[in-house]
Amino acid sequence: MASRTAPGGGRRECQGLRSFHAFVWDPDALGALGAGNTARHAAHRGGLLCLALPGRAEAAVAPPYAYLQITSNSYPDGVPVVSQGRVAWIGEDKSGFGLMVYDSLTGVTKNVSPHVSEYSNHPVLAGDLVAWSSNSGGENQIHAFGLTTGVERLVATPQDDNEELSTDGRYVAWYDRATPGAPADIYLWDSSGGARKITNDPLDDYGPQVSDGYVVWMRESATDPAIS
């Protein structure tokens, strides 16, 4: 990934040491990147992440974006997700792994949960809710953290090491098996209630996506996968 011209004319290198880089665009931060302003930089010990913001026209970038680096260190970072000006990812520092959340309005990065490890899958984020799966002591776990409330909750302890979480800011959806080798079913957790199984059939259900309380998923078929 080549370096890009940063606001104010300087160049900010968005290339880390053997790490992946992510760019997100925050339309609400346009005012922070006017002429003469300095791009905000939030450093955290993890890989390199960059936040892309709309800025003045630059010959090297079309359409005109200005890139803001939000991590600066030698540790690798996980895949980031973004929602409503917040960026979340699994990161690492000298004390270990953590769930990192960067707020573009404050320019602050916080480690909001230590319940992650090298086996944690990248988080999902919508509104004020971030969810992720992990493994602790050989037990698979799904956690959810309320960015406004600051409360973390254990959502479930699934049989499968789940990489297909989805959230809409209130609900978290995933698939799991009642026992090893059993058909996969879809589960839904309500942050205002609890978790429940919403499918029960002899075919595998997987790949759930939730939005406004509606859930869609794929169902295994002997001839062709179906959408339910």
Point out which residues pair with 153 in neighbouring strands: 144
Q: What is the mean pLDDT of each run of 10 residues along the chain (228 residues)?
A: 35 35 40 32 42 47 61 79 90 82 88 83 92 86 94 92 88 92 93 92 90 91 64
Residue 113, both tokens: 């949960």
Return the domain boundaries, the chain: 1-114, 136-228
Spatial CB neighbours of 184, under 8 Å, sequence gap ≥ 6: 160, 175, 176, 177, 204, 205, 206
Spatial CB neighbours of 62, under 8 Å, sequence gap ≥ 6: none
Q: Name the amino acid, one letter, at 201.
A: D
pLDDT value at residue 25 = 43
Residue holding tokens 């955290």?
44
